[in-house]
A and B are shown apart, each in its own frame.
Chain A
Amino acid sequence: MSTTRTWLRHNLFRTRRDTVLTVVFGLLALWLLYKTFRFIFVTGRWSIIEVNLQLLMIGRYPEAHVLRLAVTVVVLALWGGLLAGFIRGRQVRSGRMTAADSKLSRARVTDLVERLWIPLALVVLLLMLTSTPGPWIMVGLAVAAALVGRLVGPFVGRLRLPPIGSLLVVFVFGAIPVVLYFYVVTAVGFDGWGGFMLNLFLAVCSIILCYPLGVLLALGRRSGLPLVRLVCTTYIEVIRGAPLFVLLLLANVALGFFVPDSLAPATSTRAIVVFTFFTAAYMAEIIRGGLQSVPRGQIEAAKAVGLSPIRQTGYIVLPQALRNVIPAQIGQLISLFKDTTLAGIAMGLFDLLQVSGAITSQEDFRGQGLIAETLTFAALMFWVVSYTMSRESQRLEKRLGVGIR
């Protein structure tokens, strides 16, 4: 009690000026808090979200095929669980993690919940808003599938397969998301996607594609070959000099100059291409910073033990470089995720932001000024995902940094 008192006096009420500032800002904060709570629990009319939840989440994906999305979510959960289990199994076998760390225990479940309580809370909130049992069943099955995958995963790594066998396993494993994509896309065509699902999908695809491109550009910019260096540097500088919004507009409009309409890819595909090329330029600069942070002695040691230039880069330089700039990389990827809303505006895609705007002019809600409610919902969705990415990246950074420096 007395320590709290000293702390308060010391930090908030030391001088008269401090006291005035504390009171003013304290009142301001209270007022904001009050207004926010009032908006959420009293004045906000959230029925617009409840009614349009499906539209907000998956756009106009046809009712008849919604089952495909559910199947996809469950299979992806199984896939992710398998991968996590496989990786954990390898870590245990290589001695980087003890078997006890890998046992299902109360502590680990608590840890997982503590780590992911915000997205979990969001999922529960969304489920509460649904009026049909379908989503509940889907989430239940997905959780079960992830658990099964996690438990089976370690055994996959223990299979003694011939090289062709393991190649096949890797291939099938890698093909699953692609097959799922076609399974989902054949129902409506890519341009029929919408809602938050579209934002997530655009972001995931662009992230996966831009990462290797960014690494190559960063390496190219430091290459010993002048031509490679010139090409990479020019690319990076040109892309970084152009506003993303303009590039998206260009991809929407100007592609017609080069390719006949019948051959032009779907708008969403174009958006992915733009996001990929745009973010790759920024990632390249971030990764280049990471490359520069690796001490010269590391490369010398790699040379001295006889590693070839490619292996020096792949085993010694890149792993350290990428680890050193995890926060900046994740920041860029989060920014990419949020920028997917620009694709809605620039290219007329029906993403979460566009849905949020559109539903306020539905017959039932027109003229009621509900844009604040829908935008709040959209912001919440983006915030939860971004914040989770950020937190997980900090965890990753810690784990990769074991015993370093």
Chain B
Amino acid sequence: MTEQHDDAAVFDDATAMTGTRDVMIEIEHVDKFFGDFQALKDINLKVGAQEVVVVIGPSGSGKSTLIRCINRLEEHDGGRIVVDGTELSNDIRNIQEIRRETGMVFQSFNLFPHLTVLDNITLAPRKVRRMPKAKAEELGMELLEMVKIPEQAGKYPGQMSGGQQQRVAIARALAMNPKVMLFDEPTSALDPEMIGEVLDTMKELARSGMTMIVVTHEMGFAREVADRVVFMADGQIVEVGTPEHFFESPREDRTKLFLSQIL
């Protein structure tokens, strides 16, 4: 499925993508309730292959909930979510398939503390993809080279710095060779001096053509890497645009207010 837009039209349509791309993720009319509280209200978003979308917005606006719906860590209540042609349903096989195609990086790393760094990375390829151990470890070492900490392979997560842990978490997610990477505030729990190393890894990943949805407060990263920026407030997408549009000439008052508060 390919859609064409001229550049001017892109910003009017919150669901649109920049340029001509295959659609990787389609989110249509998605609602999400926690009890009576509606955390997502009629969300529409399409993310193209190799696109980097940065999601920003105030605390409690539903950013985490949105990306957690994509790999079914939260179940959406209305609308549909399609990832690489597979629609999320209650069928566990569908869910498993989508989880294999999407990697996720959490704010608090969530590395497995009882496994070594290498085992953290190789567990899923070995158990889910049935990769032989030697091959999985070779892959694991390659990924550790990529995130620049091969010498930490035998350590346990608790023996590493936050920045190193988060880079291992990225390697772990990449080990399943996903088509999409979801990042939920990957640098928010890090000391300032470690934020850079994680962002560098993410930038490299974006350059390699990975499709990424990144929830972050790092506006520098958004400006530099994002193809589009999505601004959310109160469970809704308020505004979508290229970084230039978004930071130079935001249209909505809500966006202006938010930007004035954080910039």
Closest to B121 in A: A305
Closest 10 CB pairs of A and B: A403-B156, A301-B110, A305-B124, A304-B104, A297-B110, A403-B159, A306-B100, A306-B99, A403-B158, A306-B128
Closest to B97 in A: A306
Closest to A319 in B: B114
| Binary contact readout A315-340 vs B (1 if CB under 8 angstroms, 0 otherwise) | 11001100100000000000000000
A121 within 8 A of B: no
> A298 is contacted by which of B102, B110, B176 (Cβ under 8 Å)?
B110
Q: Report whether A404 and B108 are in contact in the complex, using a CB–CB cutoff of 8 Å.
A: no
Q: Report whether B71 and A304 are in contact in the complex, using a CB–CB cutoff of 8 Å.
A: yes
Contacts of A304 in B (CB 8 A): 71, 73, 99, 102-104, 106, 173
Distance of A321 from chain B, by nearest CB (Å): 10
Distance of B241 from chain A, by nearest CB (Å): 29
Contacts of A303 in B (CB 8 A): 71-73, 99
A402 within 8 A of B: yes
The CA of A303 and the CA of B128, in the complex, are separated in Å by: 11
| Binary contact readout A279-297 vs B (1 if CB under 8 angstroms, 0 otherwise) | 0000000000000000101
B116 within 8 A of A: yes
A362 within 8 A of B: no
Distance of B107 from chain A, by nearest CB (Å): 9
Q: Report whether A404 and B156 are in contact in the complex, using a CB–CB cutoff of 8 Å.
A: yes
B209 within 8 A of A: no
Pick the most buried of A301, A306, A323: most chain B CB atoms within 10 A of its CB. A306
Distance of A404 from chain B, by nearest CB (Å): 5
Distance of A201 from chain B, by nearest CB (Å): 33
Q: Report whether B124 and A320 are in contact in the complex, using a CB–CB cutoff of 8 Å.
A: no
The CA of A308 and the CA of B129, in the complex, are separated in Å by: 12
> B127 is contacted by which of A95, A96, A298, A311 (Cβ under 8 Å)?
A311
Q: A304-B173, A308-B96, A323-B114 are in contact. Are A315 and B123 (CB under 8 A)?
A: yes
> B172 is contacted by which of A305, A308, A405 (Cβ under 8 Å)?
A305
Q: Report whether A307 and B113 are in contact in the complex, using a CB–CB cutoff of 8 Å.
A: no
Q: A402-B156, A403-B156 are in contact. Are A307 and B114 (CB under 8 A)?
A: no
Q: Report whether B176 and A404 are in contact in the complex, using a CB–CB cutoff of 8 Å.
A: no
Contacts of A302 in B (CB 8 A): 112
| Binary contact readout B146-175 vs A (1 if CB under 8 angstroms, 0 otherwise) | 000000001111110000000001001101
The CA of A319 and the CA of B124, in the complex, are separated in Å by: 16
Per DSSP, chain A at the interface is helix
Q: Report whether A404 and B100 are in contact in the complex, using a CB–CB cutoff of 8 Å.
A: no
Q: Report whether A400 and B114 are in contact in the complex, using a CB–CB cutoff of 8 Å.
A: yes
Contacts of A301 in B (CB 8 A): 104, 106, 110-112, 169
Contacts of B104 in A (CB 8 A): 301, 304
A-B contacts besides A302-B112, A307-B128, 5 pairs, CB < 8 Å: A301-B111, A304-B99, A306-B96, A308-B96, A405-B113
Q: Report whether B158 and A316 are in contact in the complex, using a CB–CB cutoff of 8 Å.
A: no
Q: Report whether A305 and B154 are in contact in the complex, using a CB–CB cutoff of 8 Å.
A: no
Q: Report whether A403 and B73 are in contact in the complex, using a CB–CB cutoff of 8 Å.
A: no
Interface residues on A, range: 20 to 34
The CA of A272 and the CA of B112, in the complex, are separated in Å by: 37
Which A residues, 351 to 405, have Cβ-Cβ distances below 8 Å to chain B?
A: 400, 402-405
Distance of A119 from chain B, by nearest CB (Å): 29
Contacts of A400 in B (CB 8 A): 114
The CA of A308 and the CA of B127, in the complex, are separated in Å by: 9
Q: Report whether B108 and A297 are in contact in the complex, using a CB–CB cutoff of 8 Å.
A: yes
Closest to B108 in A: A297
Distance of A116 from chain B, by nearest CB (Å): 27
A300 within 8 A of B: yes
The CA of A95 and the CA of B122, in the complex, are separated in Å by: 15
Distance of B186 from chain A, by nearest CB (Å): 13
Contacts of A95 in B (CB 8 A): 116, 154
Contacts of B124 in A (CB 8 A): 305-307
Sample 15 A-B pairs with CB under 8 A, ordered by A number: A295-B110, A297-B106, A300-B73, A301-B106, A301-B169, A303-B71, A304-B102, A304-B104, A304-B173, A305-B173, A305-B175, A306-B128, A307-B128, A320-B113, A404-B113
The CA of A316 and the CA of B113, in the complex, are separated in Å by: 9
The CA of A96 and the CA of B106, in the complex, are separated in Å by: 27
Distance of B46 from chain A, by nearest CB (Å): 22
Closest to B160 in A: A403
Q: Report whether A405 and B110 are in contact in the complex, using a CB–CB cutoff of 8 Å.
A: no
Closest to A296 in B: B110
> A405 is contacted by which of B72, B155, B158, B169 (Cβ under 8 Å)?
B158
Pick the most buried of B100, B112, B159: most chain A CB atoms within 10 A of its CB. B112
The CA of A303 and the CA of B112, in the complex, are separated in Å by: 12
> B128 is contacted by which of A298, A305, A320, A323 (Cβ under 8 Å)?
A305
Contacts of A315 in B (CB 8 A): 123, 127
Contacts of B92 in A (CB 8 A): 309
Distance of A91 from chain B, by nearest CB (Å): 12
The CA of A56 and the CA of B176, in the complex, are separated in Å by: 60
Contacts of B72 in A (CB 8 A): 303
Q: Report whether B176 and A306 are in contact in the complex, using a CB–CB cutoff of 8 Å.
A: yes
Q: Report whether A300 and B110 are in contact in the complex, using a CB–CB cutoff of 8 Å.
A: yes
Q: Report whether A320 and B71 are in contact in the complex, using a CB–CB cutoff of 8 Å.
A: no
Q: A301-B110, A404-B114 are in contact. Are A307 and B158 (CB under 8 A)?
A: no
| Binary contact readout B166-205 vs A (1 if CB under 8 angstroms, 0 otherwise) | 0001001101100000000000000000000000000000
